[in-house]
Amino acid sequence: MTYQQYPPQGGYPPPGAYPQQGMARQPSGATGMIAGILAILGGLWFLAGLAFHVIELVDFTVSFLVIGAVLDFLSAALLLSGGILLLLRKKAGRVLTVIGAGATILLVASIFLMEAIGSHFFFSYSGVTSHFGVGLLLIVVPIPAIATLVLALIPPTARWLAAKKQPALAGPPPNFGYPPPQPGYPPAPGGPQQGGPPPGQW
């Protein structure tokens, strides 16, 4: 009676040494997460501006405070909801973040434009107006808004969001982690034996 000889332990790589089929590398979510965090921080900034406007409206009901309160509320709503949904890897969060950051940049730019052309129409934004000597504080508002807009729009963020929609295909690799037998080598342990006598003739 003869027995099939196998190479010593270690002749085959251990199970799992080969990557499973369908397991794609997940893209990095750094850009998307940073954009979401910046959007939330921006939303809290405008929420504080809204609180300032509400406090001022108790004593002074003037048009530029009312406009500022409405704009701060809309900016806070867009950025907070967009940032939270973006961290949850929802595509709607990316859209809301882009709209909120883009609106912030345009509104701050319009304030400085109206100041430059000497317009008599003005409004407060993020709790600040350029007509009372503190308008320079508005310069810092578009800086994080620009960073948020760029990070939300770049392709790595889009790939990170799209990867959540594509589940990896699960399944064991061929031969359960062992390479296919090559000519001149014995088969893998547990595999079908060829050329040997059937078990009833041992």
Task: Report which DSSP code applies to 127.
Answer: T
Half-sphere exposure of 201 (CA within 13 A, CB side): 5
Both tokens of 31, joined, read: 């850009």
* Alpha-carbon dihedral 184, 190, 195, 199, rounded to 10 degrees: 160
Structural contact between residues 93 and 82, judged by C-beta atoms closer than 8 angstroms: yes
Rounded Cα distance, 95 and 13, in Å: 47
Which pLDDT tens digits describe the chain residue by residue (202 residues)?
Answer: 555 555 555 555 555 555 555 555 777 889 999 999 999 999 999 999 899 888 888 777 788 888 888 999 999 999 999 999 999 999 999 999 999 999 999 998 888 888 778 777 777 888 776 655 555 667 888 899 999 999 999 999 999 999 876 554 455 555 555 555 566 655 555 555 555 555 555 5
Q: Which residue has the tokens 């589940």?
A: 167
pTM for this model (two decimals): 0.68
